[in-house]
Chain A
Amino acid sequence: MDFLPSPLSGALAAAVSWLVIALASLAPGRNALVVRRLAFPLGALAGLALAAFGLQAMWLPAAQMTLPLGLPDLPFHLRIDPLAGFFLMLLGAVSAGVCVYAAGYFRDESGERLTLIGLQYHVFLASMAFVIVADDAYLFMVAWETMALSSYFLVTTDHKLPAVRGAGFLYLLVAHLGAIAILLCFGVMSGGQGDYTFDALRAAELKPLWATVAFLLAFFGFGAKAGMIPLHAWLPEAHPAAPSPVSALMSGIMIKTAIYGMVRVIYDLIGGVRWEWGVLVLAIGAATTLFGVLYALMQHDLKRLLAYHSVENIGIILLGLGASMVFLGFGHSAAGALGLIAALYHTLNHAVFKGLLFLGAGSILHATGLRNLNDMGGLIHKMPKTAFYFLIGALAISALPPLNGFVSEWLTFQAALQAPLLANGVVRSVLPLFAATLALAGALTAMCFVKVYGIAFLGQPREPRHAPQPKAPAAGRDAGTLEQYGMAWLAAGCFVLGLFPTSFLLMLNRVATSLTGKGLSRAALESNWLWLIPSSSVQASYSPGIFLIVIVAVTLLTFLLVRRFYHGRVRYADPWDCGYPGQTPRMQDTADAFGQPIRHVFGPVYLMKRHLPGPDDPAPKFTLKIEDRHWYWLYLPLARLTNYVSSKIALLQQGRISIYLLYSFLTLIALLVFVR
């Protein structure tokens, strides 16, 4: 394949072309049409190219390159290996769909705003690509911070709203805390030798204590970006604040770069994974999963709800990673590889279906101006195409076969069910418990999306005064053609990833092999296109093709039988009528009502502020507010502490020159005494 550039230079070219597009969108004098018609489609092409090079890199040995850029004596190093290739593929493929969608989505933006969005959006994409191909801590941190800043500006696109500014600030704060931890982690790993290329970090032998410190710093530093608890608070604020394509990118791809960072640092750079680390990852992963889905169920803002589901899915990915680390720590390489593969597979799957769901939410927001589920209803009539794509995304995230969500969650289960291999009795018995958490979360997710779909798309429009909003001229229209193409691309991804898991399994096995040295068991490698076998065919196997055939056959058969034997004609009736005539739309179930049983069962998890009107209240008004407990035991006390300490330190600033001179004088005296 001599006529093709090598994957690394190809990926570099794609990333640089994103940067060029970013600058070019500034050039044409704030012309919205150029950005929409040219910049975003070209960005999508670059994404496709990046995905192709990433795919190619997964089958090739690692390649390195040094750029003549950067500080003197500190050039940028690039490297591509199967792990980087996998994440480049994820970045390229998902961003291609989102870019096409964005070309349609931003049709109402003014030129001034759109040129800025075009700049930040493509810088954001390029910085993520550089995070993935970086091969030294210096370039990694530069790209990482560029990513944080560009996405901050994207989040605060509507900076005139105070709530958006607040969300942006919170995001920036957590992002920087995470970045500090990552920086310290690189410092610990280099062990004071001053060489920050990843090759040097890989070669450095750390003492067990320092390795654990590096692990903790990496885990919490990257975890802040990924949105694991207790560092998740920015996620449900920032994702809804951003424009929908940006939410899709952030939730679909950006938080995955944190997973990339975790895998890169923990598996590759630190090396020698210990099982205790795995237990910590498992515990936090399980808590994150459960917390995310429980809070998602309580949301009635569609984009907030999706954001909490991102928290949940990060938890699922962490469960896979944790299981893998436990197995690797005990020396079971095949099971360890399986856990890693499950985590990475879920990373890709979540990027695809969560991107799709955010795009769908964006189309709803665009067409109706609504974000509150309680105001929606009956959208399937006005937006049948969006409803269709959203359904695919909802089925995928609910882990229903034969779509992609099922495959990776099933693989995670299979990894967890390898627990009998373990020698340590406690871990052996706890691991299935974490798997049970995953099962519970899966069921709750399905319930949550029944709620979303039922409330938003089915039924009747709820509040008529909300339905046609003057803000949205396209009220009640379906998504535009380009928006549909974008969603169709990701929906197709849900099917491909769900129906051909074996090819992806083998591909990911290359990643796992390159990281841990050994891959899956021999039996697993004999998986064919029909049967997916994670460990051995005696234990478990799954065939999405057969599943699909059975589902289609049963549905068709039922349909035909019902038509043939029952009534044989189509009947029209009011939706959700339940036999009562004369219903008003206000009598339908609301989003909050749907979550009520869960709110009762899991009461202690929530911080609920509710006002129940008395029976003799002439103007009864029911209010309910669910708040995140983390704010009260972690964030607000921390903020108060910071404020207090700062106010004490601010006493130093007196504003009198004499006092300042006195400071330097006393410092001088102290130094003289000390150095003497």
Chain B
Amino acid sequence: MDQTFSGQLVNLFAAFLLLIAFAMLSQRRVLTLIRLFAWQGAALAASTLIVAYSTGQTHLYFSAALAVLLKVMLIPWVLHRLIDRLQVRWDVETLINIPATMLIGIGLVIFAFALAAPISEMANTVTRSTLGIANASVLLSFLMMIVRRKAVPQVIGFLAMENGLFFAATSATYGMPLVVELGVALDVLVGTFIFGIFFFHIREQFDSLDIRHMEKLKED
């Protein structure tokens, strides 16, 4: 596989990544959201694999395997179990309506590309053009956390943000050192479990996972 072809493949998967980020932003159903999250993980793993193959960075194989294991299989499975247990399969509400969110998202993407342009100039990796996409998916996931009203989509937003971060690392510098990646992956996993435990507590307290109820917690 020559460099230009693999570069184009990486670009393709990066586009998938961004597309899925937008899809998640517009998705109302929790189940579909989890499925999209798994797909995003798959796209991430695929692009990492291609980068690993074309540049010969062996530790990226491990990263790709880790991504498949955690982000395509384990975490979605945990999330499925969670919403089964919590009985929260219904539609999710957003704070801002979806078209407006999409518009803001487009603005963020433009901003992310403008931000990434000078860095991409300096980087000499095959994947340098995807840095803007990585930035954009981080920001979009963040936006999703802000506009969602229920706790589970917010956590998915948080996890998706980590995907974007991981992608940014791969595209800018062929990935972080493996130790760091392992650490981050473990953190995300542990974070998911902790969130799960919190959900049960929140629901016990308020009989709902709607985070509006938490406004009562502030001091007056």
Inter-chain CA distance A231–B217, complex, in Å, is: 38
Inter-chain CA distance A665–B143, complex, in Å, is: 8
Inter-chain CA distance A676–B119, complex, in Å, is: 10
Out of B115, B118, B154, B218, name the residue touching A655 (CB < 8 Å): B218
Q: Is the Cβ of A658 less than 8 Å from the Cβ of B147?
A: yes
> How far is the CB of A643 from the nearest CB of chain B, in Å?
14
Q: Is the Cβ of B118 less than 8 Å from the Cβ of A668?
A: no
Q: Does A623 sit at the interface, judged by CB under 8 A? A: no
Q: Does B50 sit at the interface, judged by CB under 8 A? A: no
> How far is the CB of B187 from the nearest CB of chain A, in Å?
18
Q: Is the Cβ of B214 less than 8 Å from the Cβ of A676?
A: no
Q: Is the Cβ of A662 less than 8 Å from the Cβ of B146?
A: yes
Size category, A interface: 10 to 19
Mask: chain B, 22-62; 1 = CB below 8 Å from A; 0 = not: 00000000000000000000000000000000000000000
Q: Does B133 sit at the interface, judged by CB under 8 A? A: no
Which residue of chain A has its CB nearest to the CB of B147? A658
Q: Is the Cβ of B215 less than 8 Å from the Cβ of A655?
A: yes
Q: Is the Cβ of A655 less than 8 Å from the Cβ of B217?
A: yes
- State the majority secondary structure of interface residues on A: helix
Q: Is the Cβ of B111 less than 8 Å from the Cβ of A653?
A: no
> How far is the CB of B161 from the nearest CB of chain A, in Å?
11
* Given A661-B142, A665-B142, A676-B115: A655 touches B147 (CB 8 Å cut-off): no
* Given A672-B115, A676-B115, A676-B118: A653 touches B146 (CB 8 Å cut-off): no
Q: Does B194 sit at the interface, judged by CB under 8 A? A: no
What residues of chain B lie closer than 8 Å to A676, measured between beta carbons? 115, 118
* Given A658-B95, A672-B115: A653 touches B218 (CB 8 Å cut-off): yes
Q: Does B211 sit at the interface, judged by CB under 8 A? A: yes
A-B contact count (CB 8 A): 38
> How far is the CB of A617 from the nearest CB of chain B, in Å?
47
Which residue of chain B has its CB nearest to the CB of A675? B115
Which residue of chain B has its CB nearest to the CB of A658? B146
Which residue of chain A has its CB nearest to the CB of B215? A655
* Given A669-B111, A676-B115, A676-B118: A654 touches B145 (CB 8 Å cut-off): no
What residues of chain A lie closer than 8 Å to B145, measured between beta carbons? 661
Q: Is the Cβ of A654 less than 8 Å from the Cβ of B214?
A: no
* Given A669-B111, A672-B115, A676-B115: A655 touches B216 (CB 8 Å cut-off): yes
Q: Does A207 sit at the interface, judged by CB under 8 A? A: no
* Given A676-B115, A676-B118: A654 touches B218 (CB 8 Å cut-off): yes
* Given A669-B111, A672-B115: A656 touches B212 (CB 8 Å cut-off): yes
Which residue of chain B has its CB nearest to the CB of A659? B146
* Given A669-B111, A676-B115, A676-B118: A654 touches B142 (CB 8 Å cut-off): no
Inter-chain CA distance A656–B219, complex, in Å, is: 12
What residues of chain B lie closer than 8 Å to A655, measured between beta carbons? 214-218
What residues of chain B lie closer than 8 Å to A665, measured between beta carbons? 139, 142-143, 146
Q: Does A573 sit at the interface, judged by CB under 8 A? A: no
What residues of chain A lie closer than 8 Å to B211, measured between beta carbons? 656-658
Inter-chain CA distance A323–B114, complex, in Å, is: 66
**Residue of B118, B143, B145, B146 ringed by the most chain A CB atoms within 10 A:** B146
What residues of chain B lie closer than 8 Å to A672, measured between beta carbons? 115
Inter-chain CA distance A251–B212, complex, in Å, is: 54
Q: Is the Cβ of B215 less than 8 Å from the Cβ of A661?
A: no
Mask: chain A, 635-669; 1 = CB below 8 Å from B; 0 = not: 00000000000000000011111100110010011
> How far is the CB of B143 from the nearest CB of chain A, in Å?
7
Mask: chain B, 198-220; 1 = CB below 8 Å from A; 0 = not: 00000000000001101111110
What residues of chain A lie closer than 8 Å to B217, measured between beta carbons? 655
- 27 residue pairs bridging A and B, Cβ less than 8 Å apart: A653-B218, A653-B219, A654-B215, A654-B218, A655-B215, A655-B216, A655-B217, A655-B218, A656-B211, A656-B212, A657-B154, A657-B214, A658-B95, A658-B147, A658-B148, A658-B149, A658-B211, A661-B145, A661-B146, A662-B146, A665-B142, A665-B146, A668-B139, A668-B142, A669-B139, A672-B115, A676-B118
